[in-house]
Amino acid sequence: MSQFESIALIGPGRVAHQLGAALHDQGVTIEGVYGRNAEETKKLADKLDSRVIVNLSDVIQADLILLTVSDDAVAEVSHQLNRNNKGLVVHTSGAVPLSAIEGPNRRAVFYPLQSFSFDKHIIWENVPFCLEAENDEDLNGLGGLAELLSQRIHVLSSDQRKSLHLAAVFANNFANLMFELSEDLLAKAEIDRSILHPLILETANTVLMQSANLSQTGPAARGDKKTIEMHRELLGEDNSYREIYDRLTNEIYNRSHEQKL
Amino acid sequence: MSQFESIALIGPGRVAHQLGAALHDQGVTIEGVYGRNAEETKKLADKLDSRVIVNLSDVIQADLILLTVSDDAVAEVSHQLNRNNKGLVVHTSGAVPLSAIEGPNRRAVFYPLQSFSFDKHIIWENVPFCLEAENDEDLNGLGGLAELLSQRIHVLSSDQRKSLHLAAVFANNFANLMFELSEDLLAKAEIDRSILHPLILETANTVLMQSANLSQTGPAARGDKKTIEMHRELLGEDNSYREIYDRLTNEIYNRSHEQKL
């Protein structure tokens, strides 16, 4: 069981909805919910058997004040909190340092590494939680809370979390862009996009088994210039597909070549 | 059951090993194996209860002559085949047109869309087979053969297959490069690469549920310039990571912006 007996959620967005509901399901009390949009805030408070916090400057009766606001709002919102709150103030962002939370609050970070891309069912046991705190007691407390949902718990510094956030842009946003470009090419050739789904799953599963640089295949890794020229011709000139193809093909070619030296 | 009673494999590489073994397991007779490397050829022939074909110009007693050679070798090898072979000559390449197989052979294509990246167990039922033939009889014959291994059967023209091959470079090679770059960034920050594995699986699974352009998230899709600048600073100047970050961030930004118009 978590050492936090009650939690306040500040910012009733997607993370608050998902994380609040998951914690509530685990028997954690959601003491109150604060948000600028009265209707959304009320809706979330009702869902979580909680109450609406009207002013941030009120004393909040919660052990943990969880900021599920946008990155930019962390500093401002923590500044507006009542200084007499006894709770630990925690933000949930990958890109924001611990120090963005204003003192004299006790501060920490509770970052679920997950793309909350649409209204989907989150499988919390697969979600890594990245924690940072100013002392072991708070860190252990947050560890206990995360353990209610997942065994994947990592203690990272603000600098490490920043690098992780950047790495996640490559692994999620940029990989997703590659899937999007491939879907465009299939659509143009009148092929159903589902034909690539087994290969996409295979690509992801392979990187789980061994480092991605060991499993690179294809014309660029082989240095198969004939196939590369055929692809470039097919893409045509002066378009994003061709530019991206050239840039990434060169990158794979150079990396594969370096490894062989 | 397949209408092909026996198969000859020309080129004892990775595809021949994997596909040959899978078909042999299904009770298909592998009539003979040909390859330039005598030792490898003998090894594969033994594995498949088959014999070694010594000369391509011999008459090959097989209903299906399967060319599992490199793309460049398809034309040359099909040219060297004895003209009195009765079998259907089939190549297994995504990037090579049907017409690369020299006449007067009966010609077709049997392309398993899969990255044969290392010595792994292929789950054949997940592998799409892309077929092309000059007449319905040959197409049906190849369909029956593919069905021994998978229900994912697609009939594609040479032009479509070329586009599919290109799309697969984006979905597999380029996505894998994104995973590789993310692993580098994690290593630099002394974070174990496994932390991103749930997100990588999630990214792949999400694109199976809906088109990739609908599930894009992150700073570029949001137009979150502050986070983008933080990432660029972290990457430093004049390096591949930064160049690729900038190019792909612009692409996502432009696409997300266009959609909103």
pLDDT 10s digits, A88-111? 999 999 999 999 999 788 999 999
Question: How far is A164 from chain B, CA to nearest CA, in Å?
Answer: 6
Do residue A130 and residue A175 come from a single domain?
Answer: no
Same domain, A18 and A129: yes
User: pLDDT (tens digit, 9 = 90+) per residue, A40-89?
Assistant: 999 999 999 999 999 999 989 999 999 999 999 999 999 999 989 999 99
What's the average model confidence in pLDDT over A27-44?
94
Chain A positions touching B228 (Cβ under 8 A) are none
With an 8 Å Cβ cutoff, are B168 and A182 in contact? Answer: yes
Out of B156, B172, B197, a domain closes at: B156
Query: Of A118, A160, A178, which is closest to B191 when you measure between CB atoms?
Result: A160
Q: Amino acid identity, residue B67? A: L
Lowest mean pLDDT among B24-33, B84-93, B117-126: B117-126
How close B117 gets to chain A, by Cα (Å)? 6
Are B230 and A117 an interchain contact pair (Cβ–Cβ within 8 Å)?
A: no
For residues A129 and A191, state if they share a domain. no
Question: In this structure, what DSSP letter does residue A169 have?
Answer: I
- Which of B114, B140, B156 marks a domain boundary? B156
Any domain includes A59? yes
Strands B106-112 and B64-67: unpaired
Q: Do residues B15 and B124 both lie within one domain?
A: yes
List the CATH number of the domain containing A54.
Answer: 3.40.50.720
CATH of the domain at B252: 1.10.1040.20
**Is A170 in the same domain as A255?**
yes
User: Where a domain ends, among A156, A173, A197?
Assistant: A156
Does residue A1 sit within a domain? no
* A93 and A180 together in one domain: no
- Closest Cα of chain B to A225: distance in Å? 11
pLDDT over threshold 80, residue B119: no
Write the CA distances from A226 to A96, A229, B112, B116, integer angstroms. Answer: 46, 5, 21, 20
Q: What is the pLDDT of residue B261?
A: 47
Residue of B154, B174, B252 to mutate, interface with A, max A Cβ within 10 Å: B174
How far A64 CA lies from chain B's nearest CA (Å)? 26
Residues A23/A1, Cβ–Cβ less than 8 Å = no
Residues A152 and A190 both lie in one domain: no
CA angle, corner A105, sides to A100 and A107, nearest 5?
A: 55
Q: Which residues of B touch A174 (CB under 8 A)?
A: 178, 181, 244, 248, 252
Distance between CA atoms of B44 and B20, rounded to whole angstroms? 9
Chain B residues lying within 8 Å of A180, measured CB to CB: 211-213, 216, 255
Strands of the sheet containing B51-52, edge to edge, are B51-52, B29-34, B6-10, B64-67, B88-91, B106-112, B129-133, B153-155
Domain check: are B40 and B122 in the same one?
yes
**Residue B46: is its pLDDT beyond 50?**
yes
Q: Angle at which helices B225-235 and B240-260 pack, to 10 degrees?
A: 170
Residues in B touching A252 (Cβ below 8 Å):
173-174, 177
Distance CA(A52)–CA(B62), nearest Å, equals 77
Specify whether the CB–CB gap between B116 and B168 falls below 8 A. Answer: no
Q: Is A66 helix (H, G, I), strand (E, B) or coil?
A: strand
Count of A-B CB contacts under 8 Å: 316
Using a CB-CB cut-off of 8 Å, the residues of chain A touching B191 are: 154, 156, 160, 163-164, 167
Average pLDDT value for chain B: 93
User: How does pLDDT run across B202-254, given as a tens digit for each residue?
Assistant: 999 999 999 999 989 999 999 999 999 999 999 999 899 999 999 999 999 99
Indicate the residue of A126, A179, A247 with minimum beta-carbon distance to B175. A179
For residue A9, report the phi and psi dihedrals to the nearest 5 degrees.
Answer: -105, 120
Tell me what pLDDT residue A162 has.
Answer: 97
Place of tokens 């209610």: A148
Query: Are A138 and A192 found together in one domain?
Result: no
Record the tokens describing residue A231, joined without a space.
């692809």
Chain B residues with beta carbon closer than 8 angstroms to that of A173 = 216-221, 248, 252
CB contact under 8 A, B193 and A211: yes
Q: pTM, whole model, 2 decimals?
A: 0.93
Indicate whether B1 belongs to any domain: no
* Structure token pair of residue B167: 């799309």
ipTM reported for the complex, 2 dp: 0.93
φ, ψ at A132 (rounded to 5°): -150, 140
Q: Cβ neighbours of residue B96 under 8 Å, at least 6 residues apart? A: B71, B74, B109
Asked if A226 and B71 come within 8 Å (Cβ–Cβ), the reply is yes
Query: CA-CA distance, B111 to B131, in Å (whole number)?
Result: 6
CB-CB neighbors (< 8 A) of B219 in chain A: 95, 169, 173
Pairing of strands A88-91, A106-112: parallel
Nearest by CB to B212, from A127, A179, A203: name it.
A179
CA distance A61 to chain B (A): 33
Domain total of chain B: 2
pLDDT band with cut points at 50, 70 and 90 for residue A192: very high
Give the mean model confidence (pLDDT) for residues A241-260.
92
Nearest 10 degrees: CA dihedral of A228, A229, A234, A235? 70
The pLDDT of residue B260: 52
Q: Per the CB < 8 Å rule, is A217 touching B172?
A: yes
- B11 and B97 co-located in one domain: yes
The Cα-based distances of A255 to A18, A252, A259 in angstroms read: 40, 5, 6
Q: Is residue B23 part of a domain?
A: yes
**Locus of tokens 């990272």:** A156
Domain limits at A256? 162-260
Banded pLDDT at A261 (limits 50, 70, 90): very low
Q: What is the DSSP string of A216-255?
A: --SHHHHT-HHHHHHHHHHH-SSSHHHHHHHHHHHHHHHH
State residue B14's pLDDT score: 86
Answer whether A144's CB lies under 8 Å from B188's CB: no
Are both B123 and B198 inside the same structural domain?
no
**How close A258 comes to chain B (CA, Å)?**
14
Q: Are residues A229 and A137 in the same domain?
A: no
Q: Are B52 and B33 in contact (CB under 8 A)?
A: yes
Taking the alpha carbons at both ends of chain A, their separation in whole angstroms is 54
pLDDT, tens digit, 9 for 90 and up, residues A219-228 = 999 999 999 9
B48 φ, ψ (degrees, to nearest 5): -105, 15
**Which residues on A lie below 8 Å from B244 (Cβ)?**
174, 247-248, 251
* A164, closest residue in chain B (CA to CA): B186
Q: What's the DSSP call for residue B97?
A: -
